[in-house]
Structure 1
Amino acid sequence: MKNKSDVERLEKVIGQLQGAHSEISLLAKKSPNDSLNKFKLNLINKVLESANQVLGEKYSPFPDFTQFDADDVPTTSDVTMVLSQYMEEAERYRSDNVVNDYGWKYVVDGKVTEIPAGPPSKVGRK
């Protein structure tokens, strides 16, 4: 991460991914083979677009995937699976950029900041 806005963007994307995953997971449990409507698909694609920008190539869960095709509407279970992978990679990115320095803090531009963070959940930093 290069600056504080990178941390803010990551935190926002993590929240959006978790929220979308939670909502779509409920639909997938009820009807896993149902298609997502265009409105929800558009919102999911916007979240994925932001996630792709934040995660970059290094943390992208799928090198050949950027978003869902609106003409080939995915099922709720498809969307849940993809969102799960994005959440895992977002957490790996976050975990790679926090340290315990009298409490968990983000590392920005190679330096420990005062920006509070939760403990990492992924093992094996960079």
Structure 2
Amino acid sequence: MRDKSEVENLEKLIGQLQGLHAEITTLAKKSPSDAVNAFKLKLINKVILSGNAVLGKAYRPFEDFEQFDSDDVPSTSDVAMVLGQYIEEAERFRSDNVTWYGGHWVYALGGSPSAIRSGPPSKLGRK
């Protein structure tokens, strides 16, 4: 990661992915094969497109996946699965960019510890 704005974009992405995943997972438990409505799909696609930009090629969960096709409406279980994969990769990206410094977990910017605190890396990360 190069600067604070990249950290902010990642943190925002993680929050959005977790919120959408929680909502869609609830729907998927009730009716896994139901289609996602157009409004929700539009929001989900915005977050996925943002995720593709933030995560870059190295952390994108699916190399050839850009977004869901609005003409071929996905089921709630399909969306839950894809969002889950984006959450995993966003966490791997975060974990690979935090370091222990000065008694705290912080983001590394440009390869050096920053003053931006983070949680500890998960088992997914650590290059």
What TM-score bracket applies, with the shorter chain setting the length? over 0.9
Give the match's secondary structure for 1:14: helix
- Cα offset, 1:123, TM superposition: 4.5
Matched residue type, 1:93: F
Alignment of 1:39-50 (within 5 A): 39-50=39-50
Q: Distance in 2 between matches of 1:118 and 1:51?
A: 20
Q: Distance in 2 between matches of 1:93 and 1:111?
A: 16
* Equivalent residue letter for 2:114: T
The answer for the alignment partner of 1:53 in structure 2 is 53
| CA displacement, residues 57-101 of structure 1 (integer Å, 9 cap, x when unaligned) | 000000010100000000000000000000000000000000111
Question: What is the match of residue 2 of structure 2?
Answer: 2
Indicate yes or no: 2:87 matched with 1:92: no
Q: TM-score, normalised by structure 2?
A: 0.97
Measure, in 2, the Cα distance between the counterparts of 1:124 and 1:26: 27
Whole-angstrom distance in 1 between the partners of 2:66 and 2:121: 26
| Structure 1 residue aligned with 2:113 | 112
Residue number in structure 2 paired with 1:35: 35
Paired AA for residue 29 in structure 1: K
* CA gap 1:54/1:36 in 2 versus in 1, 3 angstroms: same
- Report the counterpart of residue 70 of structure 1 in structure 2: 70
1:2 to 1:96, Cα distance in 2 relative to 1, 3 A: same
| Matched-pair identity in % | 64
Q: Tell me the CA shift for residue 124 of structure 1.
A: 5.2
- CA gap of 1:26–1:14, structure 2 versus 1, over 3 A, is same
Give 4+ residue runs of structure 1 displaced > 2 Å after superposition.
none
Following superposition of structure 1 onto structure 2, how do residues 16-27 of structure 1 map, counting pairs within 5 Å?
Answer: 16-27=16-27
1:107 aligned counterpart, secondary structure: strand
* Equivalent pair of 1:98/1:120 in contact (CA under 8 Å): yes
Deviation at 1:125, TM superposition (A): 1.7
